[in-house]
Structure 1
C-alpha cells in the first residue's frame, strides 16, 4: 500500500514503512528519516539496499521517481548502485580535467617527501619530472594521460638514458596510481611496465647491452672513485680529469699546459665538437690530476674495468655527470648542458653569457667533485 504524506510525517523511530515497488522509509533511533530502495541485483542475484537520501532533502514524490529510475535499470539488467558509482566516478574524472599532471605530481611529491629520509631521493623525484615528464605531459589533465603520452616521455631517453628512463616510468606509474585512488582517473595505469609498456619498449638489460657508450650509474660513482683514487697510473689520472671536467676524450687527450690558467681550462675551438672554444672551471681536486701523460681510450677502458664490474665507458662518464645533475641537484638543466658543451639555444646561451654562468658552473663542478669523492 502506498504511503500518505501524513504517514510519512508521523513515522516514529524504528519504523520501516513500505511504499511499494521496493521503496521504503526508514526511521533510525534518533528520529532521522531516510529513503531506501530495496532490490535484487540483476548481476549478482543478491538483495541490496540503495540509499536515496534523507527526507529533509528528498520528498515522497522525488523518492518515488528515484525508485522508478532504479527499477528501470534493473529491467535493463543493470545494478542501480553500481551504475550510480560509475556515474560519480565519471563525474569526478571529468572534474579532474582541470588538474594537470604537473599540478597533481607536485602535490603528490610534496605529500610523500616527508617520508623520504634521503634528500637526494626527494631531489631526484622533482628533477626527473621537471626534466623529462613535464615538458611532454605536464600540461595534460591528469585524467587524460594515456599510453601514447607516457611513451612520448620515455622514447627519447630509453635508448640513451635507460636507467633514468626506467626510474621516470616508475615515478609516473606511482603518480597515476595515486590519482586513480583519489578518483581522478579511471581505467588501467598506462605507465605499467609488465604486460603493457614492456610490450613496446625493450627491457633495460637488452638496451644497455647494445649502448655504444655505457654509463656508470651515478649512485656507483663514489665507490668507483674511492677505488680509482688509489690508482697512480697515468690512465687513472687522466680518467679522473675527464670525470671531474665532464669533457670528451678528444678534448682531454690534447690538453696543453698553456690551456690551464689558474682554475680555468680553455679548450680551443679546433678540439671542440661544436667548433667553439669552451671554458671549464676547475676544482682543486681536478687541478690535482695535472699533469698527466695522455693515454689511449683503450687504456682508459682498461682502467675503468679495474675499478668496477659495471659496464661503463669513458664517454659514458659524461652521461653519469648529466644524470647526477638532473636527479640530485637543483641546478638548471641548461647549465648542465653548457657544462657538457652542448648547444642549448642561442637565446638561453646568450642570457647565461650575459649573466654569471661561469660562476654557476663553478658551483656545479664543485658539487660534482664533492659527490664523486665523498668519503675519500
Structure 2
C-alpha cells in the first residue's frame, strides 16, 4: 500500500522545479510558484471551506521541520482550533505588546496623512488635526493607543457634548476612525471604545435633545428683489457670482469652482460633477434666462478655466469673496449660504411646487431609504420651470 504520509523525499524537494502543489501527506504540500519559489503549505477544511496556511520557504524550513509544523497544525485542528486564526491572533497580540510606545497622537497623524488625498479640501485635514489637538491629545496624553478605553473617551467628550455638540459629535467620529485604524494596524485589539451605536449612545444624551439648531442668517424672501437691485450696482466678479448663486440656489464652493466645460449654454444646463457636490452625486442645474446671461457675460471676459476667476492667476474666486461683498454692502445680518433658505422659504410659502421638486433644486438627498430607492429621476423639467419663476421673482 502507498504511504499516507511522508511521500516526498529531500531529493524530490530539491530536484522538482515544475510549478504546482506536491503532497507529502498529512495536509502538507510542497508549493512551487511560476516564478520558481518553493515553500511549504498546510491545506485543510474549516467549516466546509478550504484554507491554506504557509509554513515558510524551503530554503529556511527543511522537510523534516515542515512535517513537525504540519503535525502541530493537525493537533490544533483535532482540539477544535483553527491553526491559521490562532497564528494570526498570536501575531496580533505580539504587535499590541510591542506597541506600548505607539501613542494615539502618532496614529492620528498617520491616519490623517493616509487619508489627506481623498478628502475634498486641505481644510478638512486641518479641521481633523485641530479638533484632536484641542480636545483629545491633552486627555490621552502619551498613553499607548492600546490603553485608550471608554472612560478616557468620555473624559474627552463629556465636557463639550452639551455645549459644543456638533464639534463633540465630529470629534467622537474622528476618534473612532483613528482607533479603528490602530486596530487594523495591530496597535490595539478589542471593541472600539468610541463607537456610538450600542455603546456611547447609552452614556451620552441624544444630540437632538442637547444641540441647539443654528440656522444660517437668511434674507426674508420679500426683501430679495430690492437686494438684487442693489447687488446689480456692485462692480466686480463677486457680485456676478453672488447673483448667480442666488439664482441657482447652489453653494459657495459649487459656484466658485464652476468651470466652462460644465456648461451647455445652448440648452441652459449646468452639470456639476459628483466630486464637487456635497452628496457626491452629479447635479444638473437648469439655468434661468438671467443665470444663463450671467455666464455668457463672464465668457466675454474669460480669463481662465473658471467662470468666476479670482485675483490670482489661474485660480477661482476666493471662497470669502462673496462674504466680503456682503460686508461692503453693510449686510452683516445675512450669510451667503442663507440665500438657499431664502429660496426654500419662497418656494414653500408662495408657490405650489411639490416638496420633492424644491428639495431636488437644493440637491438635498432623500432621507427615507424606501422613497430614495424609487426616486430615480432628477425632476429636471419641473425644476427648470421652478428656477425661471424664482428668477422672475428675484428681478
- Identify the TM-score tier after normalising by the shorter chain: 0.5 to 0.7
Q: Distance in 1 between matches of 2:124 and 2:37?
A: 52
1:101 deviates by 0.3
Structure 2 counterparts to residues 192-271 of structure 1, below 5 A = 192-208=195-211, 223-224=216-217
Q: In structure 1, which of residues 150, 156, 160 is the aligned counterpart of residue 153 of structure 2?
A: 150
Cα distance change on mapping 1:90 and 1:130 into 2, 3 Å: same
- Greater helix share, structure number: 1
Match of 2:352 in 1: none
- Is residue 159 of structure 1 aligned with residue 162 of structure 2? yes
- Secondary structure of the residue aligned to 1:47 is strand
Task: Give 1:118 shift.
Answer: 4.5
Q: Distance in 1 between matches of 2:113 and 2:19?
A: 48
Structure 1 residues 132-143: aligned runs within 5 Å? 132-143=135-146
> Size of the alignment, in residue pairs?
224
Shift of 1:68: 1.3
The correspondence for 1:33, drawn from 25, 35, 38, is 38
User: Under a length normalisation based on structure 1, what TM-score does the superposition of the two structures give?
Assistant: 0.53
SS at match of 1:195: coil
Offset at residue 113 of structure 1 (A): 3.3
In structure 2, C-alpha distance between the alignment counterparts of 1:153 and 1:66, rounded to whole Å: 48
- 1:41-80 matches, within 5 Å, as 41=46, 44-80=47-83
Q: Distance in 1 between matches of 2:86 and 2:30?
A: 22
**Residue 12 of structure 2: aligned partner:** 7
Q: Classify 1:35/1:186 alpha carbon distance in 2 versus 1 (closer, same or farther; 3 Å).
A: same
Contact 1:13-1:30 at 8 Å conserved across structures = no
Residue 36 of structure 1 and its aligned partner are, at CA, apart by: 1.6
- Counterpart Cα distance in 1 of 2:141 and 2:326: 38
- Counterpart in 2 of 1:102? 105
SS state of the match for residue 217, structure 2?
A: helix
Could you give the per-residue CA deviations for residues 303-348 of structure 1, whole angstroms, max 9, x where no partner exists?
A: xxxxxxxxxxxxxxxxxxxxxxxxxxxxxxxxxxxxxxxxxxxxxx
Please, which runs of 5 or more residues in structure 1 have no aligned partner? 209-213, 231-369
Please give the alpha-carbon distance, in whole angstroms, between the structure 2 residues aligned to 1:124 and 1:32.
48
Deviation string, structure 1 residues 250-290 (Cα, Å, up to 9, x no partner):
xxxxxxxxxxxxxxxxxxxxxxxxxxxxxxxxxxxxxxxxx
- Aligned counterpart, 2:389: none
What CA distance in whole angstroms lies between the structure 2 residues aligned with 1:65 and 1:206? 63
Q: Report the CA distance shift for 1:189/1:88 in structure 2 as closer, same or farther (over 3 A).
A: same
Unaligned runs of at least 5 residues, structure 2: 224-320, 328-395
Q: Which residue of 2 aligns with 1:168?
A: 171
Structure 1 vs Structure 2 CA RMSD: 3.0
Q: CA, structure 1 residues 146+374, in 2 after alignment: closer, same or farther (shift >3 Å)?
A: farther
Cα deviation per residue 1:189-246 (whole Å; 9 max; x = unaligned)?
21111211001111112123xxxxx6x75xx6xx43989xx9xxxxxxxxxxxxxxxx
Q: How many angstroms does 1:373 deviate by?
A: 6.8
Higher relative contact order (CA 8 A, sep 6+): 1
| Aligned mates of 1:123, 1:9 — CA distance in 2 | 57
**2:191 maps to which residue?**
188
* Aligned residue among 127, 131, 146 for 1:128: 131
Cα separation, 2, equivalents of 1:185 and 1:114: 25
Q: How far does residue 53 in structure 1 lie from its aligned partner after superposition?
A: 1.5
| d(CA) in 2 for partners of 1:126, 1:26 | 47
